[in-house]
Amino acid sequence: MAPHSIRYGLAILVGFGLIAASTAWSGEVAAPVRRAQELMKLLESGRVAKPDSVLSAIESSDLELQQYLRTETQDVQAAVLLMRFHYARIAVTSSVAFFTGALETADQPEPFLGIVERALRADTSNAELHYWKGRLYSLPEFTKDGVPSRIPRLNEAILETRRAVAIDPKETMYRESLGFLLLQSGDEAAARSMYKNLSTKHPVYLLLHDWERMPAIEGTVAQKNPMQFAASQSSPLAYAALAMSRLYLFGGTAEEFEKRCRRHWPSFHLLLDPDRGRRPEGARRYAQHLRWKGDVLEPDAVQSEVSGGQQPGIGRGGIWVEVVESRALATDPPDQHPGIKPGEIYCSVEFNDKRSPNPDSNK
C-alpha cells in the first residue's frame, strides 16, 4: 500500500471521529487491552511516523482483542476498543482503495456483532456499543456479482443508533451516523433536520438544503443512486455517494426535457457535447450549469472564444445538469429504463451539486 494513502486514511479516521475521543479507562486491565489502549493513545495523538507500521499494529490489535474476547465476553472496555480498531482498519483500507483503485474488502458483521451483543448484556446503557451495533446492522447485502444492493437490517441499524443518541445526545459521531442512515432509508427530511441540528454549516446539511430548494421537473422519475449502498460510513466515497447527486429518468427527448426546465428557468438551454467518445453509441449528451442567486437557481452560460456561441459556465458551486438522450433497445437490460418501451427515446438525467464544503466558496 502507498504510504501517502495510508497516512491520508489515518487522517480521515481521526478527523471524522472513527476513533472516539480519549477515554479514561478504569482500573487494572488485561495485557491485550493495555496494549490496545497504548496504541489508541498513539493514534489519537496524531503522531504517526510510519503509517505502514501503524496499520499493521491496528490489524494485530484487532486480532488480539478478538482472541481475548472469546473467553472474556463481558469485558466492555475490550469490546469498545475492538470496534474502534476494526473500523479504523476499514477506514484506512477504504481510503487506500479510493485513491489507488484497489478492490475494497467487504466488511462482515461476524464475529463482531456477537461480541458487541455479549458486551451489551454486561452494560446495556453503553452508548458506544449501541453505536457500533448500529454500524454492523448497516452493512449491505451483496448480489451474486458482488454488487451491494440493499441494507436488510437498516431499520434495526437506525433503532440502535437512536439508542446511542438517546444515551449520549452530545456525541456528534452518533448523530452524524443517524443522519447518514436516515438518508439511506430515504427519509431525507429527517436526515436534513438531524444534520441541521448539528450545524447549519455542516456540509451534508448544505447539500440537502440545496435539494430542498431544487424544483421538481415535471415528467422526471427519480432513480436509485447506484452508489447508495456501495460506500460505508468509513469510506471517503460515502459523502459523495449519498448527498451530491440526484438521478432521474425522463420519457422523451432532450428538447422536451429542456422545455420542462424552462418552466422554472426561462433561459435554460441544453448544450450538446461534441465529444462522441464521452457518450454511448447513438446517444447524445447535453449539459447546463445552474448557479445560485440567493435562494434561487438560474442558468449559467459564458461566451465561447472558440465557437462564438454559448457554453455552460461551471463557476463555483451550483448544480451541474447532464442529460444523455438515447433510444431504448430490445437488448437493453430490463431495469435500465423502467417504463420505456423498445424504440422509444428517453433521457438519463443527473443533477450534480458542485457545492464546496466551505460556504464562502459558493458565493
Contact (Cβ atoms closer than 8 angstroms) between residue 323 and residue 254: yes
Backbone angles phi, psi at 193, to 5 degrees: -65, -40
pLDDT score, position 174? 95
pLDDT score, position 356? 66
pLDDT score, position 16? 45
pLDDT in tens, 263-316: 999 989 998 887 765 666 778 999 999 988 888 999 986 655 555 555 555 556
How far is residue 201 from each of residues 178, 356, 360, measured CA to CA in Å? 18, 11, 10
Residue intervals of the chain classified under CATH 1.25.40.10 are: 3-211
Q: Nearest Cα to 86, choosing from 124, 128, 149?
A: 128
Q: What is the dihedral of CA 43, 49, 55, 60, to 10 degrees?
A: -80
pLDDT in tens, the chain (363 residues): 555 555 555 555 554 455 554 455 556 788 999 988 888 887 777 665 566 677 888 889 999 999 999 999 999 999 999 999 888 888 777 776 666 655 556 678 899 999 999 999 999 999 999 999 999 999 988 777 777 778 899 999 999 999 999 999 999 999 999 999 999 998 999 999 999 999 999 988 999 999 999 999 999 999 987 777 766 776 656 766 778 889 999 999 999 999 999 999 998 999 888 776 566 677 899 999 998 888 899 998 665 555 555 555 555 678 999 999 999 998 888 888 888 999 999 999 999 998 865 555 454
Cell of 129: 456499543
pLDDT score, position 6? 56
Domain spanning 3-211, CATH architecture: Alpha Horseshoe (1.25)
CB-based burial of residue 134 (10 Å sphere; 0-12 exposed, 13-18 middle, 19+ buried)? buried
pLDDT score, position 197? 95
